[in-house]
Amino acid sequence: MTPIPKNHPRPASSQRKRKFLGPLDGLLAAITLAAFAAPAVQAASYSWTPTTAGPFNWDNASSQNNWTSGFPNAVGDVANMSVNLSANQTVNLNQAITVGSLTFGDSTATQTATLFTGTAGS
């Protein structure tokens, strides 16, 4: 095998300079880093507090404080509505609600709990 001399011309394809970063690539990299650096949304856990006969509002309408804090309405939220009811209970959603997990009903299975759409729920 004969060595190729140093001054031997290279094929045209390898003579092109490769440009890895274009003018917008830096911006794209910054946006990508920002997306990964953003804090993850933390799911919250909520516990239902009323145990007496309803009706009650999921969204705490009419200044009801039916949850331990606020009310669940996010993809990862955990809604625990399994409490020891002293009477049958109706809960009105009143808006479209999204939760990641729902535990629902009387914890002793002696009373009934019912979810209704209310004024605009689903």
Residues 122, 118: Cα–Cα separation, whole Å: 9
Residues 27, 19: Cα–Cα separation, whole Å: 16
Q: Convert the pLDDT of each residue in 39-56 to its tens digit.
A: 555 689 999 999 999 899
Burial class (CB in 10 A: 0-12, 13-18, 19+), 78: middle
Q: Convert the pLDDT of each residue in 9-47 to its tens digit.
A: 665 555 555 555 555 555 555 555 555 554 555 689 999
Residues 122, 106: Cα–Cα separation, whole Å: 22
Of the pLDDT bands very low, low, confident and very high (cuts 50, 70, 90), residue 74 is very high
**Side chain identity at residue 43, one-letter code:** A
Global pTM reads 0.62
